[in-house]
Amino acid sequence: MKNTNEQVQYKILSIDPWLKPFYRDIALRMQRNTDVRRSLIGDAADLSSFANGYMYFGFNRTEDGWVYREWLPGADEVHLFGEFNDWNRSSHPLERIAGGVWEIRLPGADALKHGQLVKIHVRRGEQSFDRIPTYIRRVVRDSSNNFNGQIWYPPKRFFWTDGNYKKRKLTTPVIYEAHIGMAQEREGIGSYREFADYNLDRIAGLGYNTIQLMAIQEHPYYASFGYQVTNFFAASAWYGVPEDLKYLINKAHEKNMFVLLDVVHSHACPNTAEGLNMMDGTEDQYFLPGERGWHQAWGTKCFDYGKHEVLHFLLSNLKFWQEEYHFDGFRFDGVTSMIYHDHALGSNFGSYDQYFSMNTNVEAVTYLQLANELVHAVNPFAITIAEEMSGMPGMCIP
């Protein structure tokens, strides 16, 4: 790895000689990437095999039924409940296994059925509360304006016809950014299928070869434009069912178009009833503790990129959207906010010193390095875009 790092440093220094005074800072970042990567996966070459959290956590079918797992290190008791047990909060306890993980096995293929609503009931100390499973793939709102997780395992699986997925390289992306709900001319919220059937031909006819979709990860507040995510593995129910999103992407691929996900890993919705916040009753399970965990300008929670479990969650999330929905890459939202401890609020970045200071969140930089490596390990032709306004040196170097 040392020789590789030196080669990368030489490349960036040849691109911008003004970085030579910061050679040591760049070398330390590269070494940190190497060290964190090794601590996650050892000396294995395959980062993709590490990012399989969605195959272990959440609801998964087994040979004789179902298994549900959740990482809740701060919890004292966890119960699964929902339509399958008449909303009984005590009849189906989870067992605590290693590493703060809780598990329950439900024998029988019909123990859980497609479309059933589910939640978990968590106790920490004298407090108890309901939560939506973290890796749930669909979340729906009921008549009382409450949100529930929904088992999504349709008997007829979606059949992909996009044979060129992962096989085609796009030399020059010409990107059309769209919000599914706002992309229709009629009054109301548009749907995945409407977008696919009425907009794709028009977009392609205008010369675009790439579509970047906003607001796909589940968010309860529609006016947030999708930037306050609660359920990171759930395709938003605002626009239809998961198969409808697959239909859209499949149809775009049939037209030789790429589809990018506007992914929000820079922060998360502070809601507790729907999102990750206080999942196990602690503030720092997924997020930084105290004031560091609050984005004062956005009123959202800030991830702890130094925690291995958080890296596993976020990297697994990227691979999930590639493998489950065939996204061709990502536009990472809010990267500037991620890579500075003060979120770069009020900074003018008039000096290179501002890129290599105590204000730089090197843990977030390492996460982005790992994320970029992972995305291209899953699909070597994937596109990654950073919404980054400070001009961090090296952000667009592989």
- Residue partners of 354: CB distance under 8 A and separation at least 6: 347, 390
β-strands 383-386, 329-332 pairing:
parallel
CA angle 377/228/356 to nearest 5° reads 60
- Report the interhelical angle of 23-41 vs 308-325 (nearest 10°): 80
Tell me the C-alpha distance between 192 and 211, whole Å: 13
CA proximity to 195, closest of 139, 257, 263: 257
Phi/psi-derived region of residue 348, left when phi > 0, alpha when psi is between -120 and 50, beta in every other case: alpha
H or E stretch at 220: none
β-strands 95-96, 101-107 pairing:
antiparallel
CA proximity to 261, closest of 204, 332, 361: 332
**In the chain, what is the greatest distance between 2 CA atoms, to the nearest angstrom?**
67
Report yes or no: 74 and 280 within 8 Å, Cβ to Cβ: yes
For the four alpha carbons of 245, 69, 120 and 107, in that order, the dihedral sign comes to positive
Q: Is 304 a catalytic residue?
A: no
Q: What is the Cα 2 distance to its own chain's centre?
A: 31
Q: What is the Cα 279 distance to its own chain's centre?
A: 17
CB atoms within 10 A of CB 246: 21
Q: Which of 244, 274, 333, 388 is catalytic?
A: 333
Q: Which of 243, 284, 324, 387 is catalytic?
A: 387
Q: Is 6 a catalytic residue?
A: no
H or E stretch at 175: strand 175-179
CA angle 281/282/286 to nearest 5° reads 115
- Give the catalytic positions in this structure: 333, 387
